[in-house]
């Protein structure tokens, strides 16, 4: 059972990437414009999106087990991505880009809309998706992910100060949103609408930046690492998460949500972070585009498989 809206959502993302690439190819916008968009997203629109989503939902009782399963999937993706990059003979920037795009999935921009479309009447499903995005993607990406990117990019073996990682706008938004959710607090309606309005700009801005950054010349000779990311990100990691979820006793919609979030394409922000901190940005961008394109095939397969397995 594949909702037609899911297919159109994926195709819409691809269309925005094409628009961005067209603006670059026509000379209307330079590739460097992606840097401005990336900064705007990481420091403004993404934190607003986190507050608008996490701060409006309760925490389900099965959330801890879902977070454990999703976290182990993330660790598997990071480890396998690094090992694959080394086996392919890539340098440190390439290793960083492969690890980030193999480990972090698009749990927010694609995963949350998909889950809400599949389970519109299951409150725990939507809340689990938001929490996985907040604590297995966003929080770890802007802490451990930034640390990893800097080690393999501009930072070399020098570790960034932990406090600097924790004080990013996105990390602060995650902590604030969770606190509000646990305390049962909600933003006043005008502030909630403003956060939603600003956060809603994240998706088009990120995909537009990816299109501006996409350089087909830079993809040449990178087919093997891209295919490795595809295999890890969209086949191996969700299989690992499914096994862990079953072991932890997760059932029904929350189990399906946990696996589907792990089966999403590579997170766009993983490529943004990789590029921003000196890793192989071209490889990271190409991996995001490839997994998003192939997600039109792999996501329906995972949905069908989960339905076949049953509750």
CATH label of the domain that carries residue 175: 1.20.1530.20
What length does the chain have?
311
Task: Enumerate residue ranges in the chain where pLDDT < 70.
Answer: 1-7, 54-59, 154-166, 216-220
CA dist 290 and 294 (Å) reads 6
Residue 182 lies in a domain: yes
The pLDDT assigned to 157 comes to: 45
3-state secondary structure 251-292: CHHHHHHHHHHHCCCECHHHHHHHHHCCCCHHHHHHHHHHHH
Q: Does 311 reside within a domain?
A: no
33 lies in a domain?
yes
274 contacts 96 by C-beta, under 8 angstroms: yes
| 56 part of a folded domain | yes
Helix 92-103 / helix 281-309 crossing angle, nearest 10 deg: 30
Residue 162 has a pLDDT of 56
Whole-number pLDDT of residue 104: 97
Instruction: Give the domain extent around 54.
Output: 4-306
What pLDDT score does 6 carry?
65
* Domain presence at residue 116: yes
CA distance 142 to 86: 24
Q: What is the pLDDT of residues 14-49, one digit of tens each?
A: 888 889 989 998 999 887 898 898 889 888 998 888
What pLDDT sits at residue 164? 64
According to the model, what pLDDT value does residue 44 have? Answer: 92
Counting the structural domains of the chain, the total is 1
Instruction: Give me the pLDDT at residue 165, please.
Output: 58
Beta bridge partner(s), residue 105: 266
């Amino acid at each position: 059972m594949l909702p037609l809206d899911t297919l159109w959502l994926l195709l819409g993302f691809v269309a925005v990437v094409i628009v961005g690439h067209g603006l670059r190819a026509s000379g209307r916008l330079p590739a460097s414009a992606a840097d401005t968009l990336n900064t705007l997203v990481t420091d403004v629109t993404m934190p607003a999106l986190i507050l608008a989503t996490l701060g409006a939902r309760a925490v389900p009782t099965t959330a801890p087990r879902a977070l454990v399963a999703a976290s182990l999937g993330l660790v598997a993706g990071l480890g396998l991505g690094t090992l694959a990059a080394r086996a392919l003979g890539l340098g440190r920037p390439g290793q960083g880009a492969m690890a980030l795009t193999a480990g972090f999935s698009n749990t927010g921009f694609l995963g949350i809309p998909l889950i809400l479309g599949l389970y519109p009447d299951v409150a725990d499903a939507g809340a689990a998706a938001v929490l996985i995005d907040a604590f297995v993607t966003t929080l770890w990406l802007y802490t451990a992910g930034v640390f990893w990117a800097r080690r393999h990019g501009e930072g070399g073996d020098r570790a960034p100060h932990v406090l600097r990682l924790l004080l990013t706008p996105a990390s602060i938004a995650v902590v604030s949103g969770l606190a509000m959710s646990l305390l049962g607090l909600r933003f006043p309606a005008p502030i909630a609408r403003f956060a939603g309005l600003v956060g809603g700009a994240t998706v088009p801005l990120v995909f537009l930046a990816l299109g501006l950054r996409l350089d087909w010349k830079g993809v040449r000779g990178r087919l093997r690492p891209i295919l490795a990311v595809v295999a890890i990100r969209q086949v191996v990691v969700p299989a690992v998460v499914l096994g862990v979820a079953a072991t932890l006793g997760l059932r029904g919609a929350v189990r399906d949500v946990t696996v589907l979030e792990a089966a999403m394409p590579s997170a766009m922000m993983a490529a943004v972070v990789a590029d921003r901190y000196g890793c192989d940005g071209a490889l990271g961008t190409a991996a995001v585009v490839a997994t998003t394109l192939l997600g039109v095939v792999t996501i329906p397969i995972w949905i069908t498989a989960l339905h076949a397995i049953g509750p």
